[in-house]
């Protein structure tokens, strides 16, 4: 089984201010959005935050850590929700962390649910504050700042981290043509005219490292599994763009799951000689024809590198422990690669950078403008503006493919996924909300008549609906829940 979770930091800004009206600071604006989320939930428990532990076997001294790394010291709006996810302020952005799921298809569903939850929250915040608040799903403000759309993959601790560093960067560097969000402007500040396939590519500076906001690495080494550290590690992937196309999100997540499974199974493919430079090169080539030198002496395009991993993924997709939607992921991934090879515009209904480029080229043809025209930058921003809903109109109108329907998304806004501990955690948060003191991914603390009891859920694979629904039928309060825990051989301080 391959457990995965997505995190999205949203851009947020206001328009329509009156002359002389003070521009709200981004932290206050973000807190207004998160505080407007209407869902059962509880305060976040920081007890298991260990942001300075490095997968290379060291712990970064707190005195030399960049302040952005000290996530265990930040006490901004932060809630765990009944649908299994987390809504909080990360520095100066509203952020949604989706619940643990087993498939890329479920990742798409709860990713879209998070977008809907926070779009509605932004609308409520606007009504309360009298401000015109925009929530944007992108990863750069084109003024030198980038914010993340992170992926998390649970891996066995037995898989050597050095092997991930050796093999995974080639996939991360080349996938920008498959699941990039597209960007008007080149360079960290977007100072040079042009268009590229990825919003994040220009912000990476090295191969391996612990940081996420400065000197960004392709392979992040944060070793914070949110699970039994003896058995698991969590690979925190920070290179991805925030995608709106459901197919692009499916392939982004599913291809990474399959590539990591292939690496565990022994797959080895040639890597770009300089993966960091290769990602930038590939991003700046919407034709998908530029080649970079690889470790075997050959030069390859991004599509050719992706094809190598697609072939390896095919070989492991039939194994008993593969992801349940492997066939769907391989089908969409392979079709995207086929179409990129012929004409990238054939992917306009599935891949965000191509969808966006089609819109931009229509404006360029109509007005005869170059890439430095501000109307193009404005359209780039509008595409990602969830409040304005341009992408929703494209999707509703059939211009892009849809995998998950509105009914599924609506359910995911309030219901947790059924196959991981997110179901038990979310169900307990909703059912016992008045008694829950605090919670995080792997613990829930409840007030009982005899004191506060903390229930631990250290395995993401334990706590699904099938094994727990019948057990909870006779539980009528927090004390009975603790007694159930004990009857199964656990106590309020042991792990399940």
| 3-class SS letters over 143-174 | CCCECCEEEEEEEECCCCHHHHHHHHHHHHHH
Of 53-62, 111-120, 232-241, 431-440, the poorest mean pLDDT is in 53-62
How far is Cα 238 from Cα 7, in angstroms, rounded to an integer?
A: 10
Task: Single out the residue of 135, 123, 67, 129 nearest to residue 95, CA to CA.
Answer: 135
Exposed/middle/buried for residue 22 (C-beta within 10 Å: 0-12, 13-18, 19+):
exposed
| Mean pLDDT for the stretch of residues 300-319 | 96
**Are 280 and 178 a contacting pair, CB within 8 Å?**
no
Give percent of the chain with pLDDT exceeding 70. 94
Average of per-residue pLDDT across 124-131:
95
pLDDT over 70 (residue 403): yes
Residue 1 has a pLDDT of 61
Which pLDDT score, from 0 to 100, does residue 70 have? 61
Residue with the bigger pLDDT between 321 and 87: it is: 87
List, in order, residues 6 or more apart from 264 with CB less than 8 Å away: 155, 156, 159
Please give the average per-residue pLDDT across 286-299, as a whole number: 98
Helices (H), 284-420: 302-316, 326-342, 352-367, 374-384, 390-396, 406-412
Task: Choose, from 90, 106, 325, 385, the residue flagged as catalytic.
Answer: 90
- Band of residue 83 on the pLDDT scale cut at 50, 70, 90: very high
Q: How far apart are the first and last CA of the chain?
A: 18
pLDDT of residue 201: 97
Which pTM value belongs to this model? 0.95
Cα torsion 45, 76, 222, 426: sign = positive
**Cα separation, 363 vs 490, whole angstroms:** 63
Average pLDDT across the chain, whole number: 92
Residue 64 has what pLDDT? Answer: 65
Domains of the chain by residue range = 138-400, 417-487
Active-site residue 115, yes or no? no
* CB neighbour list of residue 174: distance below 8 Å, 6 or more residues apart: 272, 278, 279, 282, 302, 303, 305, 306
pLDDT (mean) for 292-304: 98
In DSSP terms, which residues pair with 59 in a beta bridge? 53
Structure tokens at 98: 């989706």
Distance from C-alpha of 430 to C-alpha of 184, rounded to nearest angstrom:
43
pLDDT-derived band at 60 (thresholds 50, 70, 90) equals: low
């Amino acid at each position: 089984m391959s457990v995965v979770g997505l995190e999205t930091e949203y851009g947020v800004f206001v328009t329509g201010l009156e002359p002389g009206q003070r521009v709200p600071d981004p932290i206050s604006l973000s807190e207004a959005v998160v505080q407007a989320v209407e869902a059962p939930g509880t305060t976040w428990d920081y007890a298991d935050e260990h942001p300075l532990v490095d997968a290379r076997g060291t712990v970064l001294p707190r005195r030399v850590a960049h302040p952005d790394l000290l996530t265990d010291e930040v006490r901004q709006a932060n809630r765990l929700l009944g649908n299994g996810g987390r809504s909080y302020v990360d520095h100066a952005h509203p952020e949604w962390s989706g619940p643990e799921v087993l498939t890329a298809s479920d990742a798409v569903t709860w990713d879209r649910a998070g977008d809907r939850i926070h779009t509605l929250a932004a609308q409520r915040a606007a009504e309360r504050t009298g401000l015109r608040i925009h929530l944007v799903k992108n990863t750069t403000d084109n003024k030198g700042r980038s914010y993340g759309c992170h992926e998390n993959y649970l891996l066995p601790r037995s898989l050597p981290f050095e092997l991930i560093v050796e093999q995974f960067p080639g996939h991360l560097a080349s996938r920008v043509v498959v699941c990039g969000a597209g960007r008007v402007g080149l360079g960290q500040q977007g100072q040079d005219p042009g268009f590229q396939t990825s919003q994040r590519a220009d912000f990476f500076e090295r191969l391996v490292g612990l940081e996420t906001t400065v000197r960004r690495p392709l392979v992040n080494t944060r070793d914070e599994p949110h699970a039994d550290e003896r058995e698991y590690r969590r690979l925190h992937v920070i290179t991805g763009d925030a995608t709106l196309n459901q197919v692009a999100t499916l392939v982004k997540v599913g291809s990474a799951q399959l590539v990591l499974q292939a690496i565990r199974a022994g797959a080895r493919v040639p890597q770009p000689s300089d993966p960091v430079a290769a990602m930038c090169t590939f991003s700046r080539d919407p034709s998908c024809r530029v080649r970079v030198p690889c470790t075997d002496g050959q030069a390859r395009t991004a599509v050719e590198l992706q094809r190598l991993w697609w072939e390896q993924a095919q070989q492991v997709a039939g194994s008993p422990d593969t992801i349940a939607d492997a066939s769907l992921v391989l089908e969409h991934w392979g079709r995207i690669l086929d179409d990129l090879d012929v004409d990238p515009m054939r992917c306009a209904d599935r891949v965000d950078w191509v969808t966006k480029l089609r819109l931009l080229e229509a404006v360029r043809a109509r007005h005869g403008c170059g890439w430095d025209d501000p109307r193009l930058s404005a359209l780039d921003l509008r595409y990602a503006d969830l409040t304005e809903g341009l992408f929703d109109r494209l999707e509703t109108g059939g211009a892009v493919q849809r995998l998950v329907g509105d009914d599924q998304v609506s359910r995911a806004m309030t219901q947790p996924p059924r196959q991981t501990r997110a179901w038990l955690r979310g169900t307990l948060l909703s059912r016992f909300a008045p008694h829950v003191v605090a919670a995080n991914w792997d613990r829930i603390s409840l007030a009982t008549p005899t004191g506060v009891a903390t229930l631990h859920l250290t395995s993401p694979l334990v706590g699904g609906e099938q094994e727990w629904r019948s057990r909870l039928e006779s539980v009528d309060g927090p004390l009975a829940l603790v007694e159930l825990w004990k009857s199964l051989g656990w106590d309020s301080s042991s792990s399940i």
